[in-house]
Structure 1
């Protein structure tokens, strides 16, 4: 499975993946998912929001145990973020069948669409729509960098954009959702554990900072006469690092758009996107408020106007404690067990976090020895991936037979 997925959407120059929602590589990944489902004799479904499902047993029976993740990527992303969870889900099912396990509940595997938000700027679009956290009107207004709206992109890919919307009946069938994911940090590498259980997802959001100045000639305009929004933006980037460091949080300006974007022109507009995350809401508010306050001071000093728009926000997600504790018991997380499973928080958002308000959810993490993610350098050793599959199979067996 891994070898089949490996070349899809991989850029020959960077070695990273460019699997963006409703684009060619994403559609190839979707075809791969359907082929894997059909090869195993599973019932394949495509829901109204473009999420793919594969079922063993009748999902209408309810109290289903579901696992899965996503197959899309960030620009030049790594091979493991998302796909590891989907591949491991099919591999875990294969393992359970080899064990001769008989389930008393339906078992599902899902590929959620547009988790990364690389094309339309909003993460977890597929799961947000299903959970009712993104309205149809909001979804229809999502637009990519080329001016293509989400409905147009879906339609071009052969999907019906008029069908999107809340899918509470489908989610009501699910008794537990468990997402396996490569760890996006080094906590497991530091402790020497191959697999961990998630406790919570930090609150996080994305803010757009629009610095509006005055376009002018880069060679003839005196420094004293300039209203250069790039200076205000650059100073705000440094402020983000300072505020995050002081608060023990993270803040990143990772995307920028410049107009008119000429080498010999002072910009008229610099638009930067801030991503910030913290262990609790109060800390996150302190960091973002501090960055905005500093940015406004810099903008005023340069004669630049600043507008700040919060484009998305996800509050702290505490995964279902009962489900988390049950998974820990299944994996033998007691002092006498050979496998001790650490419980750790994460600053990364996931579909499991979106669903947590509707469905009991949990996450498993597989060790990432470098801690690098959203990069071609993202990596997990094969034996750790196998340990993840085994852990996921044990969890699914325990949950589907309880």
Structure 2
């Protein structure tokens, strides 16, 4: 595998973009909602992982799974160094859309096929990657595979992660057939990379009303997740006077409204998207409510101010309601500015074909943002006419998807050939 060229690897083109998309599209899809439920280390996830392996094998690529469960498909020898990586993830949020993650993986294989058709001769290895558990839908922490690989999440922390049923991450890996013995940092594999480029459907409408099917990322906003626990007193809904209640649901509701106001004033984002209630009976006053806050802002100072304001409002309202409030930060990712030289090089290459391309920031987190501290990274966005993401209405036209494949192939040719 020392020869990184297509001929040296015995490369064989796989099915085209549309055929790959049709094969992947039904995996993990819920008929009732039309959304996807591809959660890490579940049978649906296993189906997606099998699809990835099949694509690698069909092209004669060397498929391997690292200690953290991330899948890699190599053209050329990893030990040669200087490899250019591309890809994304295949897992989803609950009832997510079809494009978030999978578009980057399908496009990566299609871009290799495009380079083969062009007769490109890579001077460095190329690798397609599927990072595991990017969305964090099952265990509550996003980008688990890339965090583990970079050391931003260590084995002890990973061992503490639990899903809603109490199943630990490491146990879930083992039940799915993956040996968790080697979970942890992977500096040797990352050191083999000279760059990572992730293509992703745009999660917003910055490109939607322009003539540009593809854009380049400039930065990712800082973002995090906080758990708010509201502890009151469980009681009978039909016999307890309003004046005698210590109802944590009231405090939670007030906090949701406060979050919206704090975010509006700061031009930031704050969302309570998940809530657990105990005991959860219709005719009972809750004894405890837990709500999970997702907040994002253009800079860390603004984000800190927004979250502090939400916590302050929760505690003040809790004091009036007789409810105790505790806040735990469960994850945090600092602002990521993609490598200027790499970003500008990609933008220039894409401009050669279609003229100047938009360069834009995003509030959405990605594996590319996690890897940025260890490997030069960049991102391409494909236009999303609905602007919707993390929901079934997420969309990109076939024409724009194919434009994304061409752009990714151009970028890989620029970096590896």
Q: Compute the TM-score of the two structures, normalised by the length of structure 2.
A: 0.95
Q: Is 1:360 aligned to residue 360 of structure 2?
A: no
Matched position secondary structure for 2:200: strand
Q: Does 1:386 align with 2:405?
A: no
Cα distance in 1 for residues equivalent to 2:377 and 2:218? 11
Deviation at 1:14? 0.3
Deviation, 1:190, is 2.8
Ranges in structure 2 where 5+ consecutive residues have no aligned partner: 1-19
Q: Deviation digits for residues 123-158 of structure 1, max 9, x if unmatched?
A: 000000000000100001100000100111001001
Structure 2 distance, partners of 1:190, 1:209, is: 38
1:292 corresponds in structure 2 to 311
The aligned counterpart of 1:46 is 65
Q: 2: CA distance between counterparts of 1:190 and 1:344?
A: 14
1:350 matches 2:366: yes
1:318 is the counterpart of 2:330:
no
CA contact (8 A) 2:348 2:356 kept: no
Correspondence for 1:375: 391
Q: Alpha-carbon deviation of 1:97? A: 0.4
Q: Which residue of 1 aligns with 2:118?
A: 99
In structure 1, the partner of 2:265 is 246
Length, aligned pairs only: 398
Question: How big is the alpha-carbon RMSD for the aligned residues of Structure 1 and Structure 2?
Answer: 0.7
Q: C-alpha separation between the residues in 2 aligned to 1:300 and 1:135?
A: 37
Matched, 1:113 2:129: no
Corresponding residue SS for 2:289: strand
Task: Give per-residue Cα distances to partners, 1:369-391, cap 9 Å, x unaligned.
Answer: 11100001110111010110000
d(CA) in 2 for partners of 1:299 and 1:390? Answer: 55
**1:340 Cα deviation after fit:** 2.1
Partner of 1:48, secondary structure, is coil
**Higher mean C-alpha displacement, 106-115 vs 337-346:** 337-346
User: How far apart, in 2, do the equivalents of 1:198 and 1:6 lie?
Assistant: 26
CA distance in 2, matches of 1:343, 1:200: 9
CA distance in 2, matches of 1:338, 1:183: 19
Partner residue, 2:103 = 84
Deviations 1:352-402 (A, max 9, x none): 00000000000000000111000011101110101100000000001002x
Give 1:191 shift: 2.8
Deviations, residues 5-44 of structure 1 (Å, cap 9, x unaligned):
1111100100000000000100000000000000000011
Alignment partners' CA distance in 2, 1:192 and 1:219: 60
Which SS does the other structure have where 2:30 is aligned? coil
Residues 151-194 of structure 1 show CA distances to partners (whole Å, capped at 9, x for unaligned) of 11001001111210100010000001000000000001133311
1:395 alignment counterpart: 411
Q: How many angstroms apart in 2 are the aligned matches of 1:266 and 1:192?
A: 54
The 5-angstrom pairing of residues 1-400 of structure 1 reads: 1-332=20-351, 338-400=354-416
Q: How far, CA to CA, are the matches of 2:149 and 2:126 in structure 1?
A: 19
Which shows bigger deviation, 173-182 or 155-164? 155-164
Q: After the TM superposition, which parts of structure 1 deviate over 4 Å for at least 4 consecutive aligned residues?
A: none
Shift of 1:263: 0.3
Q: Normalising by the residue count of structure 1, what TM-score does the alignment of the two structures yield? A: 0.98
